[in-house]
Chains A and B, each alone.
Chain A
């Protein structure tokens, strides 16, 4: 039984009397409770149509992201050179590499799944956008990670990628040959950027809920009661369903 179904239960932050306290803090509280109610954030039920293994790739991506962050944090403890001289360090570097491979693979499978669900429907465009930007940000994070390995690979990637970055002016302020700069981007700026996007993405998924199934094209009556003709459905589809 979900909290949602139990009207008798008073939820935390939802007093029986309306919250009318004055001040910025109260306003933020009201806003948070309204936008992110606890039972939508941490639901104990899910829509019945969520019945496919494809749905697990979002949570797998999130799990892999945490393993990436954790293994990266261990590598950070003794600094960027540690793993070249310590077998334990090398193991954590391997863990970091393979969790990144898993993270990217799960994320791409999640992306394929969400694309084929047209998961941006129903005011979910921003969820798609944060996910897409997080994907691009992850590519940048991986790139700076390769640059800070301190090996032949890093040297070559640095001198090759400088041409591309210089060609579009980015290289003037973002130099792949500047190890210190790349390390800062890799372990501070980009993880923070991707991390914030991931949090926003997950909050949006929880807030809007999992996207409902597409209506079956050949069975308009089933999918969408109230639309009379196929032509009408098409028009409806063009105007509403795909649109975020």
Chain B
């Protein structure tokens, strides 16, 4: 593998550092998992609230 492709395929954001964790009593969760779950809830709420385009069927 050449250095060029290696550079091109390297991650833009390196998540390999020490993990970030949050604790509330018995609950312990990684920041990454919390973000994923948070995004899921936000997307769910948006899907319920955002108006659905009326003419969509005619695309």
Contacts and interface: CB of A to CB of B under 8 A. Distances in A.
B6 interface: yes
Given A87-B1, A87-B9, A101-B36, A52 B44 contact: no
A217 interface: no
B9 A90 contact: yes
A91 B6 CA distance: 10
Among B10, B40, B46, the one with the most A-chain Cβ atoms within 10 Å of its Cβ is B40
Contacts of B11: 94
B40 A109 contact: yes
Contacts of A113: 44, 47
Given A108-B40, A109-B40, A54 B47 contact: yes
A53 interface: yes
A156 interface: no
Interface residues of B, number: 18
A52 B40 contact: no
A105 B40 contact: yes
Interface string A164-186: 00000000000000000000000
A237 interface: no
A105 B41 CA distance: 10
A87 B54 CA distance: 45
B5 interface: yes
Classify the interface of chain B: helix, strand, loop or mixed: helix
Contacts of B9: 87-88, 90-91
A57 interface: yes
A96 to B, nearest CB: 15
A52 B1 contact: no
B43 interface: yes
Given A52-B52, A87-B9, A57 B40 contact: no
B47 A52 contact: yes
A44 to B, nearest CB: 9
A94 B5 CA distance: 16
Given A46-B57, A53-B52, A101-B36, A109 B5 contact: no
A54 B49 CA distance: 9
Interface in A37-77: 45-46, 51-54, 56-57
Interface in B4-18: 5-6, 9-11
Among B40, B47, B52, the one with the most A-chain Cβ atoms within 10 Å of its Cβ is B47
24 contacts: A52-B47, A52-B52, A53-B46, A53-B47, A54-B44, A54-B47, A54-B48, A86-B1, A87-B1, A87-B5, A87-B6, A87-B9, A88-B5, A88-B9, A94-B11, A101-B36, A105-B39, A105-B40, A105-B43, A108-B40, A109-B40, A109-B44, A113-B44, A113-B47
